[in-house]
Every structure is written in C-alpha cells, then in structure tokens.
Structure 1
C-alpha cells in the first residue's frame, strides 16, 4: 500500500544573514533545497494506548499499528469560509480500521532498520510522565500473519507503504482484509472505501516476483482485488512460480482528504552554525488511540512540535535527528525559534495550558489562562537540567508572545502583547524597565531572560518593560518580531494606532503618548511626514523601536518611529546587521508610503488597486552613529502584485 502525499515538504530559501558572523543563531539557509520530514515509525513506550505497538503520522493522517490491525485516522480539513463573519467549520477525522481476517492474532511485531532520530514527548508539567529518546524505525514487520505470509510497513520517498510477502509454496489466497469505518466496494480494478468525509481509493495491486536470473529485476504477475463479502477484500492472483517469493503491494491514495490546512501549521525555521535545520509549529496530530470507527471530531488542543534535521544526510536516509512534542492540556502555539551556538533551540509562543512543561529554574512555573511561554530545549530535544529552561510569561490578563531572539551569551529576548494591568499579578516589568506600568487596555512588552543554569526564579528575568500608549484607551496592538544586535540592544516591531503628539506640554507626555523618539516618522498615518500630528487618525501604523536593556528607565529608549501610510500597516519581523541597521518587514494596505530617495526601491508602487489588497514591505532604518538625532529610513520597497 502506498499512502500518497504523506510527507511534509519545506523549501528553505537562500539569503544573506543579517547577523554578525560572531552570532551564529539564528542563521538563514544558504541554498534553495527541499527538506522533508522523513517517514518513520515510533515504538510505543507509553506515549499512546498500550494496545499500540508502533505509531506514525504524516500530513493529514495518523497510523496506529496494533497486534492485529492497522488504524488510520484521516483528517478532513475544516472548510475555510470566504466571509469573516462566518466561522470556519470544524475539521473531522475518519477512523478506518483494517483487520486481517482469520490471521494469526499473536504474530510477532518488531521494528527494523533503526533510524538515528529520536522522539520526545514533553506533555504536562510532571517530568515522570515525559517520554524521551523513543526509537524510530524505517520498517515494522509482522511475521507469519498467515502461514508463510509476512506483512511489512515501511516508508519510501516520504510515503507510507505496506507489502505482503508470500513465502514459496505458501497460500496467498488466505489473505483477507476486513474494513470498518468505511464501505468497501470495487470500482473497475480499484478498491474504494467510502467514508463520511471522502473516498479512499486503492489502485489495482502491484504483484511481482524477483526475476529468477536477475534478482534486481521484477517480474509483474497479473492480479486484482476480489470482493469476498461486504467490507471484506482478498486478491485474485494469476499464474506465478510458487517456488519463489511473491510480493503483493496495493497502492492507496486519499487525495480527497488533502488540500488546505493539515495537522501541522505555522512552521518557523532556524538554522545553526553547522547548517542543521530546526522547525517548529503547532500540531493536533494526537497520540490518542481512537476507540471508535467512522467520523470523529478532530478539533481540540494543539501542541508544539520541534524537529531538528541534518540536510547533509543524503536521501533516502533519515535526515531527522529528533522530533519533540511540547505542550499541556490546552492549546500551545509557537511564535518563533532561535538556536544558540551549542545547538539548543529556544521556542517562544502562547499557551492556554495550565500544566505547560516548565523547569524548576523557571521565572514562573505555573499559570492559568492565556499566557506566553519560553522554552530552551537541551541539545537532544529534551528538558534536562541544567542546560534546559522553560517558563511561563504571565500576568493577570492575556499575554501573547509574537517573537523571540537570542544573543551570543544565550540570553533570550521575547516580545508580544498583553492586556495585563498594574498589580502584583500584572505582567512582570522590572524596576529598570523603560515603562514599568500599563497605560491602556492593550500594550506591547519586551523581556530579556537569562536561561543559563547558574540562576533560577525571579533572577532569570533580567529586564522587562511594557511598551505602549494611552490614547486611545482602546488602542489596537499587533505584535511582531524582535532582534538583538552585537551590543545587546533589542529591536521590536509591530503595529498600533496609539497616538503620539510632540506638542503635548503636560508634565509626563507618556501618560497619553505612544513612545516616539528620534523618529523617521513622528505622527500616526500622516503622509507626507509632518510634525503637526492629527489626533483623529485611527489606522494602524507599523513601528520599530530600539531599546537598550542595560540602561534604566526612559534613557533606555534609543529611538522609536512609526512606519506607514494612511491605511493599516503592521511590522511582522525585524533583523539587524553588524552596523546596527534595522530591517523591518511586514504587510501594508497603504499605497502612499514616503520612501527615501537615496536608493531606488525594487518596487516603488503598491501592487493592485488596493481595495483590501495587502502588499508586503521592507524598510531599512539606518544607524547614523551620532551624526544626527534622527534615525532615518534609508531604504523602502513594496513587495506584491495585484492579487
């Protein structure tokens, strides 16, 4: 059997790193090449139901192999509605069980072709229930499912396959497959399983024997499926040499289940100094063994997955070094990943789990609600002290992490948004922060943490600050990325409609003002730039701010500037080069940015007619090195078309 389109494929594009050579993480890939998560089978070491011997997963499916059956969970993606007023429909699974009728129920099941990769399950905050270093295999063998008949599951070119191998003089007519959870019928030479969410189609089986003279060649044997009874299928086999082994290989495709969103989403990528690739995203590929047949609700919590691959290993060998699943009893979604010089990944994101896995060295070990998290895995993908670290980032509101970066010392820098208010349970701002109190319902934040093993608890929070305005009180905030330069300055970006008025004369303009300083663009939404700000503006502008966490209070802000036009603009990512020039990327609805004239833009005009048409943008903020108080935009371009 071939389970088509089972692999997950990522393309890593070429780019020039925007970080200094002394800071190897994160790095961009240097070549355009496909990297696939290889097909593998995990031995069950407690991560799923005890009836399961081995399990596997791929894009849109899960496979559980027990002693006497194979259980497929096939995902039907949720319908994506074109209108934002209509909620997307829930996705569902079809559970289809394939049982060998009349087979040996105590057939020996074993893994073969041990792979170098390992799986880790860090689910919940009880380390005694974590499962680490689970072996991965390239094949699973069932010996003597019928007299003289073996069954083998394996992966080939990122696809799941299984074969029946019939020994000399054994009776292939004894093989009978019974299906539950779908209606089985023949359609020409194909076998079709009609389930609630779509059809599963088995193409006519490929039946062959090795050539008697040249073992490398295969001699095709005529054959087909045979309907034995309702939902019971066997094989019709033509003349063949019974003195030699026979192989039966049905081919399956479930393309009616694929397309659109799958079980893994939001993949982020980082690369270490050795060019190993680290992927993170969210997954709801559950290890829960289904007890029913037919359709089942497939919603529910997501976990974080982290995969490390070595693309230098040639296919078809496994490039996977480890796959780690991280989460708790809620939804856990990563926003970014960075990797230090020792090959340890840092993952930051948002969780609703009340039992998210944390370490005893954490700044905050418990929380309830929707909050941020920061996790530093050990080099093997686990949470083993003293090298690992994991903590909540939480206040008394909703705290959402949108970006993570690290410096050469391994300190982590995290940014996001928060609705937490000022109290002992508010978002953790330090006394040295630029803005130690919240000014409105929604604010940005930026935090620096020491994840090394020499300190723990509150001491791990080196610096933390709110960053936001007070007018309007219901101002909008959209979190973006964060970067750190060689001097330890942090750069944050996002989108906001908080106002700044440079002409305010009250004693503390920050009570109402969004923090703007030494700005390229001092006023929200005003194009061309003006120093006379209009308090009636309401669209979002992107912004970028440079903060020195080694300086206390308001003097820690080096610059902060709006970036945008008259419509909504949001900064999503930021990088910094060795000269402390900042590069901001994001999306824009504005057709009227005012770009600099120093260097011609790649695309000077917005694409399309700009009726709800988003373009990407790239803007460079220069570092004048004291020659002026303004940090100018030295390059800008749109990136986009008319769609």
Structure 2
C-alpha cells in the first residue's frame, strides 16, 4: 500500500494579524495539520497517528536566517476574520496562494506555494550562492535519513514525513530552464544541506522540495486493487482480489480464509499507516471485488464484483443464493467494522456475468452495471431490453436498499459484443451507463452527438429513465480506430464526463484542448458531453509517445478533474512538482489533475517501479479534500521510512494506495435562508472566505440577552418544536460555535472560525442561533432565529 499525503493548506496562506502564534507571518492548514510560515522557515503541528499516538511540533528553519521582507503573492479576493477569547476579534486578514521570504540568506529567496495540495518551498538561489551554503535544522524530528540522494526521511513522534527533490534547474540567459540534478546531504551535525550537480557558474538556480510519505500492503501472491473510496473521517476503503493467504486480514471479520483468489475489502486509517479492518469475501472459486461504496460515517460498506464460488458467503435469505454455471456477479453490504454481512446476493444467469461498477440512489437503493453473455440474465418486465441482443451485452440492475428485491434490470447492447464499465446516478435517479461496443446497432437517440459507430470498437454513453424503460439518449464516442470508455462521472450542471483509451488519430477533441492531437498510438482521453448527449462540450487527449490509458476519473465541485491510469510513455506530461518525474518501468501508474475546461494540467506524476504498474481507480472526498488512488505495483515504487510495508510482499504486484491533498476550493460559496425567525431575532452571515471563516450577525433580538450560535450538517427533515418553531439542524451532530450576549440594540456580530474538520469544497453545513428570552419569546425559554445553509467554496 502506498500513500502520499501532503501537509499543504486547503485555506491558502492567511496573514497573521494576532490570531496565531506571534512567530507566524502566515498560517496554513490542511485538515488537522496546522502550520505557519515564519521568517526562518516553517513550523508544523502534526496530529497523532492514532488514539495512542502523540502530536508533534516540527520546525524546519534555515541556519543563519535573517529574512528582510515577507511578500504575499496572488492574493485571494476577500478577507478572513477570526474571533479569539469570546468577543475579541481579528478582522481583515489577507489570504494568498504564494508567500515569498526575501533574502533569508544573502542570495536566497524562499517561495512557499502549493501544488496538488502539497506544500512546497522553492529555494531561489542567486548566481553567487552555492547550494552547499544552505542548511536546514529540523527541530522535532527523532531521526533524519536518506532513502536515496533525492529522498529525505524525517521521522517524528507523530509519524514519518518524506521530502523529495522532484525538480531543480538553472536559468539560461534567454530565461529558459535547464534541468539540474539536486540531492540532499546529511553532514552528520543534525542539519540537512543540498548539492547541485552540473550547475553553470554565474547562473541563478532553483531547488524544489515537496513533503509527503508512502507505503505498500499485500501478500506473497498477486494482489489487485480495482476500486477505492473514503468516508467523512478520511478512512480509506479498497476492494480487489488477493492471491495469497498472508494478505493482511483482521480478527472477527466476515471471512479470513483464502482458498483461491479471493475478493477483499480493506479499511485503512486516514494516515494510511495501519489497517483498521480487512476481510476476504469468497469461497472455493476465484472471486474479485470490482466496485465499492461507503456511507459518509463509515458504518456501511457496499461491494460488488464477480464470483466463481458456489459457497460464496451469502445469508440464507439472499435474493438469489445460487450461482450459475460459470461466474456470476455479486452484490453485498458489510457492516462498518467488516464483521457482519448484512445482505448479499448473486446476480447473473447461465453464462458469464461480472459487475463492474456500483452506485447508490438518494433513497439508498443500489444500482450495478456490468457485462453478461447469459441468455437468461434476470431482466425484468417493462425495461428497454428484456433479452440479449448478441455476443456480450452490457446490463444495468437496481436492487432495493435492503437487498431483498430486484426493482428492475435490463440488458443494453447490439448484435456484437458490448461491455458496461461505468455508471452514475443523477439526483433524480436517472442512470447513466458508459462502456465499449463493437455493435453498429446500439440504441442511440435522434440528437446523439455521434449516432453511428466510427471504428471497429467505440465507446458509448447512454442515459436511462428512472425505471430503465427508455433511453433518454444514447451516443457512440470514438474515431476510426478503437476506443474504450472506462470511467464516468457527472459534472457541474449535469454534464456527462467520461474517460478511457483511444487508438484513433481522429478521436474528436475540442478547440483549446490540453492535447488536441495524437501523442502516440494509444492515448488516454477525457470528454464532456452535454446532459442530453447531443453536444461534445470539451474533449482532450492525455498521454505521451507510448501507450497511455485512463482507468479512473473523479471531479471536484469546482470542476477540477483527477484522472489515473497506466502509461508506457517516457514523456508523459508530468509537472515540475511531480512526486515521481520519470517513468520507472515499462508501464507506470500516473495521476493527473486537469482544469475543468480541459485546457491544461496543474499536476501530473508517474508512480511506479521497474515492472508493470497501473492505477485502477480514483476517489475525491469533499469533506477531507483528499484524492485517493488505488492501483498495483511491483517493487520500486517510492515508499517512506516507517511505512506499513516498504516493498512488495511477493514476486507479483501488491495493492498500492496513493493519497494526495487538494488545493484551495476554487468555487464561490453559496448561502441560502432556511425558514423564518421564530420570534424577532434574525441570523445573517457574510460570504465565507475560502470556506473556512465567516462573519455571523444576530439582529432584532432582545437587548442584553444570552444566546448560542449552533451548526451541523443540514437536517434531512426540519424538526418542529414548541410554539410553531422549526429546528433546521441535525441533532445527532449539533455543535455550538459561539456563545454571545446581545448589545443594547439586540444585536451581536462576530467573525467565527469554522472548525477545521467541518465540510469544505462543495459540502454543506447549516447554522441557527438560539436567544434566551424568558419574558416574551414564543418558546418557553426564548426564541430561535431562521437558519442559513452554506455550500462551501473558496
């Protein structure tokens, strides 16, 4: 298992006007990690790894530092406000995306910035300054070591951090960059120094370290990861197939016995350094977990895939307890501890059936998609296709939330082979299906962007009604060669985003695309279709001169996209801050962050060793801001000291997890009123800056009255209370942000810092105040204000 987690800031660099430690010039934060930029370097407060761990303060300071100026660059519109000690406020702090320390040493500037959510400090060396003159102390570290000359391991009481040197360069006279080889040096006096090889005397240079860490998990046999998810607490869930009995499982789970290849579900701690629980799921045949989902609180886990085991561990009351002749699909729901199989069922016919994707509706029903060649796959009456059309067909099936009913099920295909690889569910329960087809008679719609097949194998996208009785649209997507669509998600405004592989020189791309033309024989691609399937809104290739293919796709509420897959290209378009800037073997995993308009890439990196490695899936969680990638790799992928496993456990590939932080929320926050005041007291708030701090105001309340400002996620249903008043907060997760005393005019205003573990980047929270007014309020104790619901942005 590999993990790379940043200590970058989700809230940018916030000016310290007295709200933070006096040494701080600017503060940064990501989740529970807090830090501040000082004139001498960086201070970080790292949280404990687990309940029994301890926190750690880590100080990285330049020896002999004497900064002459601190400059904020790329200011974010608006100001941040803070409340300290009840009513004491700090107002008007600037937020920036970059901070420069000028003349930290004679001839050295340090630029603090973020890329893919990771905190970087670019060291800008004047022509006269030698790299060997720069030294860092690392206070708070228990040990410093080098994994290799470009990788520094910093061991602390709160875990292990890794710094890499992904890029270094000098500036040519014409301003272009010439790459240099940079390396760490440990002189043995407790400091860290640097060396630059091949630098031309008299030229300015830049060294660019990044902080992160990594590890493996697996057994002696081949292990395969096919899907990944995370919950609101940052825990990571992976499913796939394990090939050896020593794959790590935990006590008391549903299945800890491996017979042949077994499906598995593993839950990892947010830091990726320990296994919370892990279970097999299978029987005497080969079983593969291909798709999973998890509830926000981690209390339920859904997994689906394919099984050849007649004794697959299903409950006695399973909807379909009997496997067909070959392999069947399976769907199961596990408890959040992996100890109970709540429900499970086979899904298939007499042929070969495999489920490849899974999603849930708002009401909790489960929809699965996959591929079947069974003549008797369980289709239901009233759907669009009740019988097979030829070869392999795609399928869609909807099961009840309790797993006890097949609500509807349909084939989808033409005369030749068709595969259903990915699905998504809209808020209105309409279903989108994407995959690959060789059929020329696939059902399409009259306004389809591409109504006919262009090559020997094309991708397809279709949208179904809520009962699957009709397709609302169907379209091919491809050029004169071969295409596969492997991933699908829904974007802002209902647009349909798909990704996969193209072997066509004429695959349709759009003006201004990141890569409009062929880069090699096979490229990855990302395309955005309109909600009606009639228009190609945006489309780009992603790749280098070798073979490239995208397997996973996810999007942030801002529209930023993250794609993962495999590349054999030596010139894949990595960015200077890449975790791994060069290809480690024949095929490497890659991860790339693309602009929502598909015109550019803000982050891209290889990840792998000398063997064939590939990434299968990616997930983004708006509460944690984390991008998590599931894949598999042989030895040689970068790991860190103190990792769960520093290398693959067997001769074959092990499961890998790569976790990256997210950047500043780039979308504007939205606020709307919920209900009306129950009494006279009214709650208002200013637009939150960066989804982190907000100014709350209570007006028209009784003078000199006590009150409290409360928050929670929005309640699913408003709660009526006495006097016709309504509570809009979720009582199960209610928290008090501030207590207050109204002034003589019945007003109160303060800038309240939102807790760092509240939702961010597109998630929602609700706020409502209570004013104690025994004399005349509609409640026995006073009155409640209206509520305000905020969708966070930046």
Q: Name the TM-score, length of structure 2 as normaliser.
A: 0.39
Higher relative contact order (CA 8 A, sep 6+): 2
Q: Which has the higher strand share?
A: 2
* TM-score normalised by length of structure 1: 0.48
